[in-house]
Structure 1
Amino acid sequence: MTRDTRAMVAFATRWSRFGGGDEYILPEFGITPVVFYQRLLAMVTTTLVNEVDFATRRHLREFCSRKLGQSSATPVAIAP
């Protein structure tokens, strides 16, 4: 795992019990929460990550899926 990948896993693991810490993702990683959760989900589902145990991988898969489901269900406000 790269340093960035480890940082994403640590961040998501730490903040998931508090709803995700979405307001800190852009300043911390320079990407939007949606992109963060997409990348993390792809990493824990398709990439071999030997440094992350099965329970944590499962938790992060479920958490990212839930967060991404919420983001697609949230209507986007369009300014007049």
Structure 2
Amino acid sequence: MDSYHEDMLKFAAEWAPYGGGEEHVLPTFGLTAGDYYRRLMRLLETLDARSLPVPLILRLRHQCLERLAATGTEDARHGLVNAGIRASRR
């Protein structure tokens, strides 16, 4: 895993207790919130994410799903499908 993705996992772990730190995503990673949450969902499925505690991984996945669902129907479906998860809300 490259340092960019390591930094993303570290950022997500550090900001999880505070709701995610979404306002810092664009200046830190150059990504929109939707792109960040889709990418984070994919990262959480990698072997590298196993260094994080399981409850934290579950919490981060939940945050990603909530934020993707809030960004709009089409964006949420796209993010959930790319993450290998079916959208339960339509």
The alignment's TM-score, normalised by the length of structure 1, stands at: 0.74
- In the alignment, the residues of structure 2 paired with residue 10 and residue 51 of structure 1 have an alpha-carbon distance, to the nearest angstrom, of 11
* Displacement over 3 Å in runs of 4+: none
Tell me the amino acid that sits aligned with residue 72 of structure 2.
S
The number of residues matched between the two structures is 72
Structure 2 residue runs of 5 or longer lacking an equivalent are 74-90
Query: 1:63 is matched with which residue?
Result: 63
Conserved 8 A contact 2:16-2:59: no
The alignment's TM-score, normalised by the length of structure 2, stands at: 0.67
Query: 1:26 is matched with which residue?
Result: 26
Identity of paired residues, percent? 32
Structure 1 residue runs of 5 or longer lacking an equivalent are 74-80
RMSD: 1.7
**Distance of aligned partners of 1:3 and 1:22 in 2 relative to their CA distance in 1, 3 Å threshold:** same
Instruction: Please give the residue correspondences for 1:41-60 in structure 2 after superposition, counting only pairs within 5 Å.
Output: 41-45=41-45, 47-49=46-48, 50-60=50-60
Larger Rg: 1
SS in structure 2 of the partner of residue 7 of structure 1: helix
